[in-house]
């Protein structure tokens, strides 16, 4: 129960700080919470099941385009578009899961990379629909909730919508990974052959992990598109596949709070270093190398072990 | 009553027939030892029984049903449980998590709780299996930190938590300290009250003491079969295996 209290405290703290944050950081924290949903989704597959995907931009973009295209072409309202985005990500996850059903390790990495690149090129090729790398700028009607009209351009709406998604993703992943199902995912990461002989159809569990991971990533993409009113090809680019890997490695793969922590640190690292130099990726790169050298379990993983050793 | 029956079971690895046309029967409730020199095909034979190794030819029948084409996890559901020759517990997880993985597999199937198995039910099953192998004190420890002999016992506890109809042990006393062997034999005898046991063993003393019947394999085929007393006397066995 203490673990749930800790996670609820993080959510409560994020709710509370919105009344004290300066406008600039307010926007940053909004983005970080959205990206953290992506990172949490990614970590279900990478950190817990042990499958390294280099194609999660596919799911993020599926969510973003599912929401953006339906809102733009069919005038879906924000709520319906969100549903369409999550549904599109679910569908893409199911199809991807079937394609990669028997692959693990390097084969899994290559196939996911290839599928995501194919999707990226498709967003450019079908530019009459997607408007290619120029992208679609959305102007959405407000959402009616309890008699109030919530304008998506309002920073407070952005912040709290992101917070709700973050809380759902965080608590869902925590519950999932402490359930019997999550224990099997961890067992697959540790020793798949042994897990099979304990009576588990491990390929089916990997499939389920991929679908959950992809759908959560798609939720992040759909919300990102709706709250910032834009979707373009860059959402499907390789960068959006490598970012969640960096976030989870930095924060710690084996800990539920690791990916959000890594997301926040990466975001501010890029933010601060880009103010110092135009070649800021050098600073980010050095920091990442340093962290993987000295904190191989990520920052949250290191902190957890430090506490365990102390007690 | 026959629990397990293989018919003309064969496994070819390149030009080598690791198991050649083996028809082997196991009675319900017995303790069966399998002996034979290295490369006799013992591990390949049990591999085909538990589903790790697909056969090149022949069939496996368990409890009256043909299971030749079943996947290993489906065979576990029918009650065939295999423990490895080389200890392969989940070293980075606690003993509790190791045994819980086995226990929850059985409980989710028998109780219908799929996602939210009541914790008390799972804990009770884990505690029962850990008590059966005498590792109650170690339940919360990380498995990889246990001494080797205890890791072997943990492996048995994982098998017991599945409540198998047939428990297959591959070289269970390998690496055990001499003082641990007698308690281990007691554990197997207690387990045999509810489970049929098939074990591969190099320690001939353990086999002759523990087994109801012994199967001798050599070069992929069954050389002899009988009670421990018969096997000790068998001339071909003495020549091929005991080396006199």
- pLDDT grade, residue A206 (50/70/90)? very high
Residue B153 has which token pair? 């016992």
Rounded to a whole number of angstroms, the distance from the CA of B239 to the nearest CA of chain A is 36
Taking residue A246's Cβ as centre, other Cβ atoms within 10 Å add up to 19
Q: Are the Cβ atoms of A199 and B105 closer than 8 angstroms?
A: yes
Among B229, B244, B240, B212, which Cα is nearest to B28's? B212
> Does pLDDT of A258 surpass 70?
yes
The residue assigned the tokens 């950190």 is A47
For the purposes of burial, counting CB atoms within 10 Å of the CB of B235, is it exposed (0-12), middle (13-18) or buried (19 or more)?
exposed
Written as six digits, the tokens of A12 are 């409560």
Q: Which domain holds residue B159?
A: 2-242
A195 touches chain B (CB under 8 A): yes
Chain B residue numbers touching A180 (CB-CB < 8 A): 104, 108, 114-115, 117, 122
Dist. CA B198–CA B227, nearest whole Å: 14
Query: What's the 3-state SS for A143-195?
Result: EEECCEEECCCCHHHHHHHHHHHHHHHHHHHHHHHHCHHHHHHHHHHHCHHHH
What is the predicted pLDDT for the residue at B203?
Answer: 85
Please judge whether A200 and B105 are an interchain contact, meaning their C-beta atoms are less than 8 angstroms apart. yes
B47, closest residue in chain A (CA to CA): A197
Give the nearest partner residue to A198 out of B71, B74, B158, using CB atoms: B158
Structurally, how many domains does chain B consist of?
A: 1
B88 contacts chain A (CB < 8 A):
yes
Q: Is A18 exposed, middle or buried (0-12, 13-18, 19+ CB in 10 A)?
A: middle
DSSP letter at B195? Answer: S
Are A7 and A171 spatial neighbours (Cβ–Cβ below 8 Å)? yes
- Say yes or no: B197 contacts chain A, CB-CB below 8 A: no
Phi and psi, residue B177, nearest 5°? -70, 145
Query: Tokens 């369409």 — which residue?
Result: A84
pLDDT band at B114 (very low <50, low <70, confident <90, very high): low
Rg (CA), chain A: 19
The verdict on a CB contact (< 8 Å) between B71 and A183 is no
Vertex B76: Cα angle to B70 and B79 (nearest 5): 110
Which residues in chain B are closer than 8 Å to A198, comparing Cβ atoms?
76, 101-102, 105, 158, 162
Structure confidence at residue B241 (pLDDT): 59
Contact of A186 with chain B, judged by CB distance below 8 Å, is answered with yes
- Using pLDDT thresholds of 50, 70 and 90, give the confidence band for residue B149: confident
Residue B139 in tokens: 């339940």
What is the SS3 assignment for A12? helix
pLDDT tens sequence across A273-287: 888 888 888 887 887
A111-125, A128-142, B133-147, B188-202: lowest mean pLDDT where? A128-142
Q: What is the pLDDT of residue B240?
A: 62
CA-based nearest distance B120→chain A, Å? 13
* Residues of chain B found within 8 Å of residue A190, distances taken between Cβ atoms: 90-93
Residues of B in contact with A191 (CB under 8 A): 88, 90
Q: Is residue A177 less than 8 Å (CB to CB) from chain B?
A: no
Cβ of B15 under 8 Å from any chain A Cβ? Answer: no
Percentage of chain B with pLDDT > 90?
A: 62
The ipTM value here is 0.87
Which residue in B has a C-alpha nearest to residue A190's C-alpha? B90
> Could you tell me the CATH number of the domain that includes residue B70?
3.40.50.300
Cα A89 to the chain's mean position, in Å? Answer: 12
Picking from A181, A190, A199, the nearest residue to B77 by CB comes out as A199
Whether residue A231 contacts residue A220, with contact meaning beta carbons closer than 8 Å, is answered with: no
The pLDDT of residue B244 is 45
Whole-structure pTM value: 0.90
Residue of B168, B225, B233 whose CA lies nearest to B201: B168
State whether residue A268 is helix, strand or coil: helix
Q: Does A22 touch chain B (CB under 8 A)?
A: no
Cα separation, B22 vs A296, in Å, equals 50
Does residue B174 surpass a pLDDT of 90? Answer: no
**Which of A179, A180, A190 has its CB closest to that of B90?**
A190
Question: B215 to chain A, minimum CA–CA distance in Å?
Answer: 24
User: Any idea of the CA torsion for B103, A211, A36, A268, to the nearest 10 degrees?
Assistant: 120
- Residue B25: its H or E element: strand B16-27
Taking the C-alpha atoms of residue A270 and residue B242, their distance in angstroms, rounded to an integer, is: 72
Q: How many CA atoms lie within 13 A of B153 on its CB side?
A: 26
Chain A: residue whose CA lies nearest to B157: A198
Q: What residues of chain B, 29 to 68, have a C-beta less than 8 Å from chain A?
A: 50, 52
Q: What sign has the CA pseudo-torsion B188, B190, B191, B192?
A: positive
């Amino acid at each position: 129960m203490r673990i749930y209290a800790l996670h609820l405290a993080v959510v409560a703290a994020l709710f509370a700080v919105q009344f004290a944050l300066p406008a600039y950081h307010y926007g940053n924290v909004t983005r970080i919470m959205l990206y953290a949903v992506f990172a949490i989704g990614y970590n279900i597959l990478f950190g817990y099941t042990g499958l390294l995907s280099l194609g999660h931009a596919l799911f993020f973009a599926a969510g973003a385009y599912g929401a953006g295209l339906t809102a733009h072409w069919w005038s879906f309202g924000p709520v319906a578009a969100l549903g369409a985005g999550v549904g599109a990500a679910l569908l893409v996850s199911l199809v991807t899961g079937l394609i990669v059903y028997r692959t693990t390790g390097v084969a899994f990495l290559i196939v996911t990379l290839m599928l995501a690149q194919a999707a990226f090129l498709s967003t450019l090729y079908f530019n009459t629909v997607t408007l290619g790398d120029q992208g679609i700028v959305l102007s959405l009607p407000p959402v009616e909730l309890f008699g109030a009209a919530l304008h998506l351009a309002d920073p407070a709406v952005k912040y709290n919508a992101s917070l709700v998604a973050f809380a759902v993703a965080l608590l869902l992943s925590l519950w999932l990974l402490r359930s019997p199902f999550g224990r099997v995912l961890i067992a697959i990461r540790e020793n798949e052959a042994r897990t099979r002989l304990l009576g588990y159809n491990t390929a089916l569990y990997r499939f389920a992990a991929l679908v959950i991971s992809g759908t959560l990533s798609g939720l992040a993409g759909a919300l990102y598109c709706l709250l910032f009113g834009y979707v373009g090809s860059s959402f499907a680019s390789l960068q959006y596949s490598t970012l969640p890997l960096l976030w989870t490695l930095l924060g710690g793969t084996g800990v539920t709070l690791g990916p959000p922590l890594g997301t926040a640190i990466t975001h501010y690292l890029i933010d601060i270093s880009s103010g110092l130099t135009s070649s800021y990726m050098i600073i980010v790169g050095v920091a990442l190398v340093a962290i993987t050298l000295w904190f191989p379990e990520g920052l949250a993983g290191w902190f957890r072990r430090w506490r365990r050793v102390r007690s | 009553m026959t629990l397990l029956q293989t018919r003309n079971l064969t496994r070819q690895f390149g030009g080598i027939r690791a198991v050649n046309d083996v028809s082997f029967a196991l009675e319900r409730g017995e303790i069966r030892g399998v002996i034979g020199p290295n490369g006799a095909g013992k591990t390949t034979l049990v591999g085909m029984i538990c589903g790790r190794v697909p056969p090149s030819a022949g069939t496996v029948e368990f409890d009256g049903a043909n299971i030749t084409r079943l996947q290993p996890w489906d065979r576990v559901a029918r009650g065939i449980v295999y423990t490895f020759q080389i200890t392969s517990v989940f070293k980075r997880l606690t003993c509790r998590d190791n045994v819980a993985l086995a226990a929850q597999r059985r409980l989710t199937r028998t109780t219908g709780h799929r996602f939210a198995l009541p914790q008390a039910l799972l804990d009770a099953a884990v505690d029962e299996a850990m008590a059966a192998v005498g590792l109650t004190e170690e339940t919360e420890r990380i498995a990889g930190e246990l001494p080797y002999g205890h890791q072997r016992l943990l492996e048995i506890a994982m098998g017991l938590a599945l409540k198998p109809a047939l428990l297959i042990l591959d070289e269970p006393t390998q690496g055990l300290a001499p003082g641990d062997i007698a308690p281990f034999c007691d554990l197997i005898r207690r387990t045999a009250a509810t489970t049929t046991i098939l074990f591969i063993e190099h320690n001939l003393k353990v086999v002759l003491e523990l087994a109801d019947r012994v199967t001798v394999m050599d070069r992929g085929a069954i050389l002899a079969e009988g009670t421990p007393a018969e096997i000790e006397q068998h001339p071909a066995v003495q020549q091929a295996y005991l080396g006199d």
